[in-house]
């Protein structure tokens, strides 16, 4: 089976053209994403048979669980499909079916005509606790909710970008935040029936912020597109930022836009790492 590994601000994925394939995708995700015995990746993405658009995305986390979507993963899939001739943009745009709905991506190409960056619609955030989901009886949005973890309390803002997120704003340097201790506890907290992604965010000024993320089913990753979008929504809801920010993650810089309503727009780079053949 042919595959390509791509990365978007360090969030790396193995991408497979599965339009004419069938397989045990959760098992393949666990094997091929293994960083010692596989190709190594945060997730497996399938270019699946589309139903209403040029392209359909399925994504499996490194632990084999299927996710609704991924913003960075969407950029990887778009580059894979456009560069490989699977799908052709119309006037620079391409619609992609995801578990979070139909999303539109606009591509930037380099001097060789290959995709180097993607500006993508992430859809409108969902703020109702029932839609996220989060087991809280409260009117939306859920802002600054005191979550008990690891013998203490952290304030989280709950957002769905088609997948669940809990965003925590931290005043100090993020390098020292105990993400590997707190992250798994938040991910599997009883308040989140579908588990959750967890973002720790430091706002630097109204146009700049930084983030670390603990991804559901993966662990800490160098970047998370839907997490960046959730962080922007949470910050904008609290008046901490303007309508657009540059968000620094360990893997690079993303631009995120949200004026307080409508769709979140995410823009960032994407690159191919290598291609190969998976045995079996």
Q: Where are the domains of the chain?
A: 2-123+268-277, 142-262
The CATH homologous superfamily to which domain 2-123+268-277 belongs is Diaminopimelate Epimerase; Chain A, domain 1 (3.10.310.10)
What is the mean pLDDT, run by run of 10 residues, along the chain of 280 residues?
Answer: 98 97 97 98 97 95 96 97 95 94 95 95 97 95 96 96 97 96 98 98 98 97 98 98 98 98 98 94
User: pTM here?
Assistant: 0.94
* Cα–Cα distance for residue pair 48/59, rounded to 1 Å: 10
* pLDDT at residue 18, as a whole number: 97
Q: What is the CA radius of gyration of the chain?
A: 18
* Cα–Cα distance for residue pair 86/175, rounded to 1 Å: 40
* pLDDT at residue 50, as a whole number: 94
* Cα–Cα distance for residue pair 228/212, rounded to 1 Å: 9
* pLDDT at residue 277, as a whole number: 97
Instruction: Enumerate the H helices of 5-151 as residue ranges.
Output: 25-32, 71-83
* pLDDT at residue 47, as a whole number: 98
> Is 67 strand, coil or helix?
strand
Does this chain's domain 2-123+268-277 share its CATH topology with 142-262? Answer: yes
Single out the residue of 76, 131, 133, 84 nearest to residue 105, CA to CA: 76
Fold for domain 142-262? Diaminopimelate Epimerase; Chain A, domain 1 (3.10.310)
The gap from C-alpha 184 to its chain's centroid, in whole angstroms, comes to: 17
* Cα–Cα distance for residue pair 223/214, rounded to 1 Å: 9
* pLDDT at residue 3, as a whole number: 98
* Cα–Cα distance for residue pair 120/229, rounded to 1 Å: 11
């Amino acid at each position: 089976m042919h595959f390509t590994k791509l990365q978007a601000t360090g969030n790396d994925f193995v991408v497979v053209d599965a339009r004419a394939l069938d397989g045990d995708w959760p098992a393949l995700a666990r094997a091929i994403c293994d960083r010692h015995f596989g190709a190594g990746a945060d997730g497996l993405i399938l270019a699946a048979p589309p139903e209403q658009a040029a392209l359909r995305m399925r994504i499996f986390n490194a632990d084999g669980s299927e996710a609704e979507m991924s913003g960075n993963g969407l950029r990887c899939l778009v580059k894979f499909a456009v560069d490989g001739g699977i799908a052709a943009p119309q006037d620079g745009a391409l619609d992609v079916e995801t578990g979070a709905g139909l999303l539109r991506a606009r591509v930037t190409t380099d001097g060789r005509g290959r995709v180097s960056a993607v500006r993508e619609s992430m859809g409108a955030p969902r703020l109702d606790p029932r839609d996220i989901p989060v087991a809280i009886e409260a009117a939306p949005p859920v802002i600054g909710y005191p979550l008990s973890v690891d013998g203490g309390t952290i304030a989280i803002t709950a957002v769905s970008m088609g997948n669940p997120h809990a965003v925590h704003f931290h005043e100090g340097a993020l390098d020292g935040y105990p993400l590997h201790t707190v992250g798994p506890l938040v991910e599997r907290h009883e308040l989140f029936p579908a588990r959750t992604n967890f973002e720790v965010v430091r706002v630097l000024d109204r146009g700049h912020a930084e983030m670390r993320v603990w991804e559901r089913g993966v662990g800490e990753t160098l970047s998370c597109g839907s997490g960046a979008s959730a962080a922007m929504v949470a910050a904008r809801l609290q008046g901490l930022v303007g309508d657009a920010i540059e968000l620094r993650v360990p893997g690079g810089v993303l631009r995120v836009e949200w004026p307080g309503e409508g769709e979140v727009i995410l823009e960032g780079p994407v690159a191919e790492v290598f291609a190969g053949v998976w045995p079996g």
